[in-house]
Every structure is written in structure tokens, then in C-alpha cells.
Structure 1
Amino acid sequence: MMVLQNSERPGIIEGIVIVLLSVRIAFLLTKYVDAPIRTNRALRRFPARGVVVILLCLALALVPVIAIRGALDRQTARALAAASANNPRGRCLDGRLHGSRRSHRRTDPPSRGHSLGLGGP
């Protein structure tokens, strides 16, 4: 909701909704995940099963996080690679100017200030 409003902080209504959703999720996790694991007789008799359950829970949590992180890293790399192609003036920022500054032929139109005689890049 904050993205739709272009704000960094939630308002009072959004804050209340976030807290209520957090409490509801905590209740559901306690009821359907935590309590069954704590009261399971098979896990008490064989502690190694408890380790397996813990490892499965970690895998269920970490696999999506790692996959999303990898996708975001690839997206960032593509955006950075395309930055100079999408912004010709940005080439000077990453050190890939061809030739010296004096012999560099200008291919983009002059800035508005330059055309008015006010100087420019």
C-alpha cells in the first residue's frame, strides 16, 4: 500500500493492518506448525526425526529466498550492463570513453543551455 501512495512510512490505518496481519500469521503458525511439532510423540521418541524436521523447515524457507536473491542479482546486472546503452552520456561515468576528450566527437544533441549560449556539458 505504501508503494501506491509513494510514501516511506505507513499511515495509521496501514500500521494497524500490518500489526493485525502479523498477529494473525503468528497465531496460525503457532497452531498449525509449532504446536504439532512440540506435541508429536514420534519426534520425542526419535530425536533424529526432529533434526530432519528442522532441516526441512530451513530448506522450505531458504530455497525461495536464495532463488529470489539470484533473480534480483541477475536483473541488477542486466540493468547495469544496459545503462550505458540506454544513456549515452553515462558512458563517461564508467570510464569507457573512446579516444581523448578533445577528439571525442559529439553525437548527441547539445543541451538546452548550450544552445542558448549559457554553456553546457
Structure 2
Amino acid sequence: EREQFAQKLAGFQALRHLLADMMVETEFARSMADLAAFGADGLASPDELLDRARARVCRAAKVVGETSIQLHGGMGMTDEMAIGHYFRRLNFLQAMLGHEAGALRRRVQALATELARPKAADSEVTA
């Protein structure tokens, strides 16, 4: 509804690009959540899918929340604007469910453990 230079702010190309970026992040998160919920037909373990989905959802929540606040300006964090309540709720949920870094750290540890294990084919060749 706000106007600048005699036109609606929503008509500016820079704002449209930010909204498009937010939509892409949302769709990535939705896709990963669906993949974790319904499985990947043996492509990854359920724990791996959950960690990947958690990391993607946390990243999307951060990007979408911060960009929304930026688009609304300082009034986005006031109690009168719903976006501030949503942003605070997203931050709370991330703290409760684990941030992106925690999920990625578990994936790194799992990969390091897998790489440290000798493979069956390697042990047969040396025997």
C-alpha cells in the first residue's frame, strides 16, 4: 500500500526479486520436508533425510523471516505487525528443534565416520 515516487512499492523490480528469492527458499524447504516425510526410495537413510530437511527448513525460515522484516522496515518488528510475531516464532522454533548448523554437523560426522570405515572391497584386495 505504501507509495514512493508516485507508485506502489510492490511495483519496484528490486522488491519483486526479493519476493522471488523468498518463494524459491519456501519451495526448497517444502520439497525437502515432503521428501523427508514420504521417503526417497532408498536414496538416503531416514535420519539423513530428516537432517537435510531440518537444515533446509531452518535456512528458509531465516531467509524468509529476515527478508520479510527488511521489506517491512522498522515497523516489521513492532507488536502491531504480524510479521514480527511470525519472525520471533520462527526463531523460537529453530532454537527448540535445532538450528541449521546442528543438522549439518550431524551429517558431517556421519560422512566422516563412513569415510573412516574400511570398505569390504578394499580389505579383500589387501588380503
TM-score (norm 2): 0.26
Bigger RCO of structures 1 and 2 (CA < 8 A, at least 6 apart): 2
